[in-house]
């Protein structure tokens, strides 16, 4: 049987060595447990035995036959077990594809630096600045749809459901504290910016006017534009699945 | 004696910036139980709707900074 088709061994639930009459298989004992100090079993776990596949945690199983029949299997299958701590598998794409990806990244980076340098020399009223921002926005939307088709992780409905589930009462203390601090910081920034905008006084600068101190200079404007492009690139292509569904 | 005049608005922005820095430091030093910025961004990018909303906000910020600010 190909290795990829082998199911990982199920942990023995409720294993009782005394009932089996074999004290040597009782993994809880230090002298008979070959995995002593190598793995930490959570106190809440209801299994008793470690995996016996001979594979290390996070190791990828690939079968030649499966790879030929199902190209998508190249990116899969990672051994998962309560003992293992999963890590992202290495980049398993073919060499040519990786080279093409690196070349595209380098080309786009050079283009982004050139565009930022050009944009740094413009002013807010120039036609070029307006056209540049409009075209970048349009390109981002097109790239988001073309590159992300079939690679989005969740449907909007699933995402909304999961979000509602996540913010429901009864979450852990750390989650509640995190949500409170994030809410306080984001609410504070938006609220204070709004207040400063309403007051319209030099004593109460808006966030926009603070950024204006930087974007006033060509270098600052160019650097801000480069940062803005990088953020847009991540929003456009980041967090996607590696292959289409 | 010369005193540097600091606008109250600047003080408020400084407090918010210090708070954000302290929170990011806490997130960097604490275990993964807390909700860090990476997880927030990944959460936003999980669906089409939130990703598109984020892109619109990003474009609006860009338009304001590069076409309306000096």
Give me the DSSP letters along A126-183.
-HHHHHHHHHHHHHHHHHHHHHHTTT-SS-HHHHHHHHHHHHSTT--HHHHHHHHHHH
Contact A206, B10 (CB under 8 A): no
Highest mean pLDDT among A11-20, A157-166, B21-30: B21-30
The 10 Å CB-count burial string (b at 16+, else e) for A87-108 is eebeeeeeeeeeeeeeeeeeee
Measure the CA–CA gap between A153 and A72, rounded to whole angstroms.
16
* Among the partner residues B55, B59, B68, nearest to A124 by beta-carbon distance: B68
Q: Which residues of A touch B54 (CB under 8 A)?
A: 235
* DSSP one-letter code for A24: G
Are B34 and A196 an interchain contact pair (Cβ–Cβ within 8 Å)?
A: no
- Residue A234's closest CA among B53, B37, B51? B51
Position of tokens 């639930």? A13
Q: Do B70 and A215 touch (CB under 8 A)?
A: yes
Contact A228 B65 (CB under 8 A): yes
Nearest one of B66, B29, B58 to A215, comparing CA atoms: B66
pLDDT per residue as tens digits for the range A196-233 = 989 888 888 988 888 888 888 999 999 999 999 999 99
pTM of the shown model: 0.64
Is B19:A188 a contact under the CB 8 Å cutoff?
yes
Q: What sign does the CA torsion over A143, A149, A151, A153 have? A: positive
* A10 DSSP assignment: P
Residues 6+ away with beta carbon under 8 Å from B20: A185
Name every chain B residue with its beta carbon within 8 A of the beta carbon of A205.
Answer: 7, 9-10, 13
Could you tell me which residues come within 8 angstroms of residue A163 by beta carbon, excluding any fewer than 6 positions away? B43
Q: What is the value of ipTM here, to two decimals? A: 0.83
- Among the partner-chain residues B52, B67, B69, the one whose CB lies closest to the CB of A130 is B67
CA A52, CA A39: separation in Å to the nearest integer? 13
Closest Cα in chain B, distance from residue A8 (Å): 28
Inter-chain CB proximity A208 and B16 less than 8 Å: no
Residue A197, chain B, CB below 8 Å: the answer is no
Paired with A78 in beta bridges are: A60
Q: Which residues of B touch A188 (CB under 8 A)?
A: 16, 19
Q: What's the gap in Å between the CA of A219 and the closest CA on chain B?
A: 13
Closest residue by Cα to residue A227 from B34, B58, B57 = B58
Indicate the residue of B45, B49, B69 with minimum beta-carbon distance to A124.
B69
A127 touches B: beta carbon within 8 Å: no
Which of the residue ranges A97-101, A154-158, A168-172, A197-201 has the most confident prediction, judged by mean pLDDT? A197-201
Range picked from A59-68, A85-94, B14-23 for highest mean pLDDT: B14-23
Q: What is the pLDDT of residues B50-65, one digit of tens each?
A: 899 999 999 999 999 9
């Amino acid at each position: 049987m190909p290795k990829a088709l082998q199911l990982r061994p199920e942990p023995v639930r409720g294993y009782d060595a005394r009932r089996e009459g074999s004290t040597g298989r009782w993994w809880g004992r230090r002298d008979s447990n070959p995995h002593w100090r190598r793995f930490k079993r959570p106190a809440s776990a209801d299994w008793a035995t470690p995996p016996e596949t001979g594979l290390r945690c996070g190791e990828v199983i690939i079968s030649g036959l499966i790879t030929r029949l199902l190209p998508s299997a190249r990116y899969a299958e990672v051994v998962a077990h309560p003992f293992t701590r999963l890590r992202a598998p290495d980049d398993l794409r073919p060499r040519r594809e990786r080279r093409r990806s690196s070349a595209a990244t380098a080309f786009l980076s050079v283009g982004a630096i050139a565009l930022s340098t050009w944009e740094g020399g413009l002013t807010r009223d120039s036609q070029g600045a307006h056209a540049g921002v409009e075209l970048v926005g349009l390109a981002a939307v097109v790239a988001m749809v073309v590159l992300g088709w079939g690679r989005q992780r969740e449907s909007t409905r699933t995402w909304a459901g999961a979000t509602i589930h996540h913010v429901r009462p009864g979450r852990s203390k750390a989650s509640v504290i995190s949500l409170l601090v994030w809410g306080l910081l984001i609410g504070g920034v938006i609220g204070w910016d709004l207040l400063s905008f309403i007051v319209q006084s030099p004593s109460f600068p808006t966030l926009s006017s603070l950024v204006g101190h930087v974007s006033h200079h060509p270098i600052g404007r160019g650097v801000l534009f480069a940062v803005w492009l990088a953020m847009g690139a991540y929003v456009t292509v980041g967090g996607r699945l590696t292959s289409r569904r | 004696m010369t005193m540097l005049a600091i606008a109250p608005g600047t003080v408020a922005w400084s407090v918010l910036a210090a708070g954000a820095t302290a929170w990011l430091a806490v997130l960097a030093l604490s275990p993964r139980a807390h909700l860090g910025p990476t997880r927030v961004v990944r959460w936003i990018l999980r669906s089409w709707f939130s990703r598109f909303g984020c892109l619109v906000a990003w474009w609006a910020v860009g338009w304001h900074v590069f076409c309306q600010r000096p």
